[in-house]
Amino acid sequence: MCSGDSGAVNQDHSPNPVGVACTMAHEMGHNLGMDHDDKDVQGCYCPMSRDSGGCIMAATFGSVFPRRFSHCSRANLETFVEKPYITCLANAPDLDRLVGGPVCGNGFVERGEQCDCGQPQDCQNHCCNATTCRLVEGAECAHGTCCHECRVKPAGTLCRAAKSVCDLEDYCDGRQPACPEDAFQENGTPCLGGYCYNGACPTLAQRCQDLWGPGTRAAVETCYSYSLSSDCKGQVPLGSRRVNRCGVLFCEGGQKPPEQRSCTLTSFSATCQALVLSGGPGYEPVPEGTRCGEKRVCWKGLCEDFQVYRDVNCSSRCNGHGVCNHKRQCHCQPGWAPPYCTELVADIRTASESLPMGVLVPVLLLGVLVLAVAGVVIYRKARRPPWWRNVVPKAAMGRSNPLFHEGNSVPATGRTPAYTVGPPEPVPTMHAIHPSQPPRSTAAAVTPKRPPPAPPVAMSSPPFPVPMYTQQAPAQLRPAPPTKPLPELKPRQVVKPSSAPPIPPVKPKAGMANPGPTQGAAGPKVALKPPMQRT
C-alpha cells in the first residue's frame, strides 16, 4: 500500500450484486492487511454462524453471503493503519477534481454545498436538507467531529485523542465543525528507544518488524559496516570499517514479504537481511528520524545533530500554556488560543462578537452618510448649468445703453439657447395709464458716465432684435456700428452743450415709458434748449 507498485484489480462474475459486494470487500480486506479467518488463531472470533453467512474474510463463501468482519479482521486493520508507510490512506480526495463536478447526494461536501448526507431516501442526518444539500434552518453544522446536534462544540472540547507518546491531543476551536489538523510532538522529543519524528517513534527494531513481520529484530552492528552491490552479489566491506546506521536497513529473522525481493549476507557472526525496493534499484533504507546516537538522528542518509530540525525546544515560545508541535508551532492547551497561547479563546470570541456592535455599526453609518452627501452634491452639480451660461457680456468700458440688454438675458436652462432675431421687448414696466393722468415709469433713472452712442437711422421695416455684442478691445471706446438696421429708438439726439445741461425729456408715446425728470410732474412736457450766447 502507498508504494509505486501498489494496485489491485478485483473482478466477480456473480449476477447477485450482494455477492459482488462481498467479493470486493474480501479482496480489499487483503489489500488492507487482513488475513483469512482461521479458527486456530487465538482471538479470531466471527459473531455470525456459518449458516448465517459467516464473516467476510472467510476462506470460502456459502450460499448465504456474509455481511460482517470478524474480530481478528478488525485487529489486522487496526495494526495495518498504524504503520508509517500507509499515510496515503489519510489523504482526502480533492473535492474539486471529482469526476463530473459537484453532485448533491453523493456523500461529499463539494463546492457550493453546506452538507451532503446522500440520497434523500438514505439520509439520516436531521441537520442537512438532502434535497438541497443546505443546512436546515437554525443549524450551524451537519458533519464533523466538532459538530453535535447541529451545533459546533465549545472550544477546548477533545476531538482526537493522542495515539502514542509522539502524538498530541487535538481540541475543537469553537468555530469549525471539523477537528483541527492532527498535530504531533515536536521532532526530537524522546520516545521509547528513539526520538519522535512527525508523530512516529522510528527505530531499527520497529521498522524491521513492519517489513519482516513479528519476531524480527535489527541486525547486529557488524552488518552496518558493509555495503551491497546493486545486484546483491558479494559484499564490499567499508575500508574504514565505519558503522553507518543511516544507510541500508539490515534485519535478522522474520519472514520475507512475498511481493519483494531480498538480499542476504551471511558471516560467521551474523546474518544480514536487506529488502530490495519495490519501485526500483536500491535497498530499503533506514527511516528518516531514526536515532543513531545521543541527540543525533538519521537525516538524508547521514547521522546528524538535532540542529537539522532547525528549532530545538521551541516550546519556550508558548508561554507555559502549550508545547511546540512537529511544524514548530505552538499547540495550546484547552482554552488557550494560538499562535503563542497568550490569550484565552473565550476572550477572543467575546471581542470578535462585540466588534460589529462597537465598531462596525458606527463605521457603516458614517459610510452611508458620506455616500448620501456625495450623492446630493453630484446631483446638484448635474442639475446646475455651467457658470458661463448665465454671464451677461460686458462692454469694453463704461456702461452700455440699457435698452440694448434689458429683456434679452439668457435663461438659466440646461442648454445655451440659440440667438434669434425678433422684436425687442419693452424695458420698463408701466402702471396702468389713466386717461386723465400721464404715464408713470417704474424704471430707475440711469445716469450715464460717458456720452451715449450715435442713434441708428430710422427704418420703416419691421424692427429687429438687438444682437448681443462681444466685448471690445480696451483700445476701442465705442462698439462698432451695427451691420443691420436697428429698430427706431424713441429718445432724440441732443446737441452736446458747452456746459452740462439738464437731461432733456422725451415725448412719450402710447405703450412707452416717459423718462421725465420726476415721476410726480404734471402738465405738458416741453423740450429744453441750451442757452444761446449772443454776440
Predicted pLDDT of residue 519: 45
Cβ proximity of 113 and 96 under 8 Å: no
Predicted pLDDT of residue 509: 55
Alpha-carbon gap, residue 97 to 33, rounded angstroms: 29
381-387: long-range contacts, CB 8 A cutoff, minimum separation 24: 383/414, 385/412, 385/413, 385/414
Strand partners of residue 184: 167
> Nine-digit cell at 134?
443546505
What residue numbers does the annotated binding site for Zn(2+) cover?
26, 30, 36
Alpha-carbon gap, residue 193 to 292, rounded angstroms: 10
> Nine-digit cell at 110?
463539494
Q: How far is CA 279 from CA 80, 179, 210, 230, 343, in A?
A: 21, 35, 18, 14, 49
pLDDT in tens, the chain (535 residues): 776 667 788 888 888 888 899 999 999 998 888 888 876 666 678 888 888 888 999 888 888 888 889 888 888 888 888 775 677 777 777 777 777 788 999 888 988 999 999 999 999 999 999 999 999 999 999 999 999 999 999 988 999 999 889 999 999 989 999 999 999 999 999 999 999 999 999 999 999 998 898 889 999 988 888 878 887 766 655 555 678 889 999 999 988 887 788 998 887 788 899 998 876 778 999 999 999 999 999 999 999 998 888 766 688 889 888 999 988 889 998 888 888 898 887 765 554 444 455 556 667 788 888 888 888 888 777 776 655 455 555 544 545 455 544 444 444 444 444 444 455 555 444 444 444 445 454 444 556 566 666 665 555 545 545 555 555 445 445 666 666 665 555 555 655 656 666 666 666 555 444 444 444 444 455 555 555 655 5
Residue closest to 132 by CA, chosen among 107, 106, 114: 114
Q: Which residue has the cell 487496526?
A: 78
What residue numbers does the annotated binding site cover?
26, 30, 36
Torsion of the alpha carbons at 454, 458, 461 and 463, rounded to the nearest 10: 50
> Nine-digit cell at 56?
467476510
User: In this structure, which amino acid lies at residue 325?
Assistant: N
Q: CA angle at residue 318 from 314 to 319, to 5 degrees?
A: 125
User: In this structure, which amino acid lies at residue 99?
Assistant: V
At residue 460, the 3 state secondary structure works out as coil
Q: If 0-12 CB within 10 Å is exposed, 13-18 middle and 19+ buried, where does residue 70 land? A: buried
Question: Is 27 among the catalytic positions?
Answer: yes
Predicted pLDDT of residue 250: 94
Q: CA angle at residue 118 from 112 to 119, to 5 degrees?
A: 110
Residue closest to 66 by CA, chosen among 52, 53, 48: 53
pTM: 0.54
Alpha-carbon gap, residue 57 to 108, rounded angstroms: 29
**How would you classify the pairing of strands 330-332 and 322-324?**
antiparallel
Alpha-carbon gap, residue 341 to 170, rounded angstroms: 15
> Nine-digit cell at 225?
559496516
410: Cα separation from own chain's centroid: 56
Cβ proximity of 257 and 275 under 8 Å: yes
Cβ proximity of 55 and 64 under 8 Å: no
Alpha-carbon gap, residue 474 to 477, rounded angstroms: 7
Cβ proximity of 367 and 177 under 8 Å: no
Predicted pLDDT of residue 260: 82
> Nine-digit cell at 358?
462597537
* Active-site option among 27, 169, 288, 304: 27
Residue closest to 444 by CA, chosen among 351, 519, 498, 388: 519
